[in-house]
Each structure stands twice: as C-alpha cells, then as structure tokens.
Amino acid sequence: MAYTLGDPFRALRLMLRINGFLVGIVLGLSLLIAPRTLLLGWGIYDGGVIWPLRLAGTSQMALGAFFFIMATQDYLSKAVLWTITLTNSILALVLLTAYLQQELAGLSTMGQVLFVLVFLLYLLGAVIPLRYVRGD
C-alpha cells in the first residue's frame, strides 16, 4: 500500500523523501565535498579545522538514507514516527538556539537562505508525523 492513492502515510512519505533528498543528500554531500572557499563564501565555515563540518555532512547523509528507507516501508510504527519527530525536533532546536545566540551572524545571503530552508524542513519533519502518531 506504500504506493497507492489510498495510502494513509502519503503526506509523510512525501515529506520523508523531500527531507531525505534536500537535507540528507544535497546538504550532506555539500558539507562533505564542497571546497573550503565555497563554504567560506556562504559563511558556514570560518576557518580552522573543517572535520566537524565534514562529520556533520556525513551525519546528514545518514539521516537522509534513514528517511528514504522509512519512506519505503509498508507501515510506519509509532516508534518510527516518534524517532522521526524527535530527530527533526532536536535538529530544529539546535538551529533555533544557534540563531537566538547570534552564532549565525556571519552567514552570507546564500547561507541565510540555506538556513531558513533547512530549518523549515526540520520543522515540517517534526510536525507532520505527529498527525499519524495520534491516529495510530
């Protein structure tokens, strides 16, 4: 039933695929392989060691793979739904905290656009599964 029009998880599967691709694959791969000059231009990297940023990229890629795998499951249990909600909530909270503490003041316009996009995707990823948790 994962690919039928009567799938009760259809909106959630779409969100998982979008998050998995944009946040997981695109952002993760960008953080992993982008040259330092590009990351400096976006304001994401400020010099020094770069391995924490590369590590964050690999973590985002793993999260994207998790989202893609969950989107293909026939049935999404409450444990999976809570895991998706908790993961996205924590990541959105980290970004919100960084924003409120003005740690993102050095972002360029492109970095700000990326920040807002990623934050909104995390927020949607935290909220959409709650509908299915309640209905299960």
Whether 55 contacts 31, CB under 8 Å: no
CA–CA separation, 80 vs 126, rounded Å? 12
The residue with tokens 């990623």 is 118
pLDDT for the residue numbered 124: 93
| Helical spans, DSSP H, in 1-136 | 10-19, 28-33, 36-42, 51-71, 78-100, 109-135
88 pLDDT above the threshold of 70: yes
1 against 47, higher pLDDT: 47
CA–CA separation, 80 vs 86, rounded Å? 10
pLDDT for the residue numbered 129: 92
Query: Alpha-carbon torsion 100, 106, 108, 111, what sign?
Result: negative
CA–CA separation, 8 vs 102, rounded Å? 40
CA–CA separation, 56 vs 63, rounded Å? 10
pLDDT band at 1 (very low <50, low <70, confident <90, very high): very low
Burial 41-62 (b: 16+ CB within 10 A, else e): ebbbbeeeeeeebeeebeebbe
Once rounded to an integer, what is the mean pLDDT over residues 38-46?
Answer: 82
CA–CA separation, 107 vs 118, rounded Å? 14
Residue 65: which residues within 8 A CB-CB, separation 6 or more? 20, 24
